[in-house]
Amino acid sequence: MSWGMIATWRMAHDGVTQASEALSNNGQAGDAIETTIRTVEDYPYYKSVGFGGLPNAEGILEMDAAFMDGDTFKIGAVAGITDTKNPISVARKLSDEKFNSFRVGDGATKYAMLNGFERKNMLTQRAHRIWEKRVEEIAKSNLSPYDGHDTIGAISLDTNGSMAAGTSSSGLFMKKPGRVGDSPLSGSGFYVDSEIGGATATGLGEDLMKGCLAYEIVRQMGEGKTPQEACDQAVYTFHDTLTKRYGKAGAFSLVAMNNTGQWGVATNVEFTFSVANDQEKPAIYLANMGENHQTIIEPITQEWLDAYEKRIKAPID
């Protein structure tokens, strides 16, 4: 039986590589999601997820995460959770709850503490300094405060044919307290059905929610489209519709995998992702929106990776 995993952004790659090893040895789809997302949440130089994530306008780091089991449709989610080491693990645990499975703010943090999850100050000095600098810049100029919403979203398929999905994000940099994006919202940030496939999103949550694109991609795969056809059709059609009717489409990118391990991607900005299955070794690709509603996908170059490494670790003065 085939297995596979796809996840958003270059930052997912180490986790995808680790989870792929487990999936190829009959590891479980839900475990693959949790492993992958925890590696991103734990890495201090990724400034849009977990430890090291950028805070809201008041300097508080509020995080969102979700987990979905594609066999049972169980979903757990947290929004605006604070001081908690791995929001994805809290979301996964919540997916076992029949009621109260989506918790926000203090309710989410209290749930994590009461259930033995590790309490941790997730705001690094580096993230705090980036926030301070942005506050100074905004005071000096008319700069838009909003930036950076690179969510980790992942879809996995195991050799039993089970699928799972997960997301984790610190959301939009400088968001207002209590603002929640697409990442913990079923259908917008993620969706998975083991009998069809799954999809997950990264990008501007306010616009992703307008299209419920993760669900739309799964729905189209269910009608027989390949993941790539479903991504191209759902994402670019919505990009055009939103541009026409709302005046502008924010940045968004989606990845999908079906229940045979085939995958697809669509994006309206330059976007990286990591993917592996029983036919393809874990690899990072670069995607861009091409003409005629098709995605251009190319292998990442060493030059790109070197520049990325330098950029995320650049000193903050």
Q: Is 151 a catalytic residue?
A: yes
Tell me whether residue 171 is exposed, middle or buried, using C-beta atoms within 10 angstroms of its C-beta: 0 to 12, 13 to 18, 19 or more.
Answer: buried
The annotation status of 103 as a binding-site residue, yes or no, is: no
Q: Is 180 labelled a binding residue?
A: yes
Q: How far is CA 136 from CA 131, 165, 295, in A?
A: 9, 38, 38
3-state secondary structure of 299: strand
Amino acid residing at 11: M
Choosing from 39, 151, 200, 295, the catalytic residue is 151
The answer to the question of whether 202 is labelled as a binding residue is yes
Asked if residue 185 belongs to a known ligand binding site, the reply is: no
Smaller CB distance to ligand GLY: residue 35 or 48? 48
Q: Which is nearer to ligand GLY, 198 or 205 (CB)?
A: 205
Shortest Cβ 190–ligand GLY spacing (Å):
11
List, in sequence order, the alpha helices (H) in the chain.
Answer: 13-24, 29-42, 87-94, 105-114, 125-140, 205-211, 213-222, 227-246, 302-313
105 is annotated as contributing to ligand binding: no
* Inter-residue contact 158 to 277 (CB < 8 Å): no
Q: Please name the residues in contact with 270: beta carbons below 8 A apart, sequence gap of 6 or more.
A: 286, 287, 288
**Gap between the Cα atoms of 158 and 256, Å rounded:** 15
Residues that bind ligand GLY (CB under 6 A): 149, 151, 169, 171-172, 181-183, 202-205
Any known ligand binding at 204? yes
Assess contact for 19 and 28: CB atoms under 8 A: no
A 10 A CB-CB count for 303 gives 8
| Terminal Cα distance for the chain, rounded | 52
Which of 218, 240, 244, 242 has the alpha carbon at shortest distance from 231? 218
Q: Residue 295: which of 242, 251, 239, 236 has the closest Cα?
A: 236
Q: Which is nearer to ligand GLY, 209 or 305 (CB)?
A: 209
207 is in an annotated binding site: no
CB-wise, 89 or 169, nearer to ligand GLY?
A: 169
Give whichever of 181 and 198 is closer to ligand GLY, judged by the CB atom: 181
User: In the complex, what is the shortest distance from the CB of residue 184 to ligand GLY, in angstroms, rounded to a whole number?
Assistant: 9
156 contacts: CB under 8 Å, gap ≥ 6? 3, 4, 5, 19, 23, 29, 30, 32, 33, 36, 163, 164, 165, 257
Residues known to be catalytic: 151
Known binding site: residues? 179-182, 202-205
Known binding site for substrate: residues? 179-182, 202-205
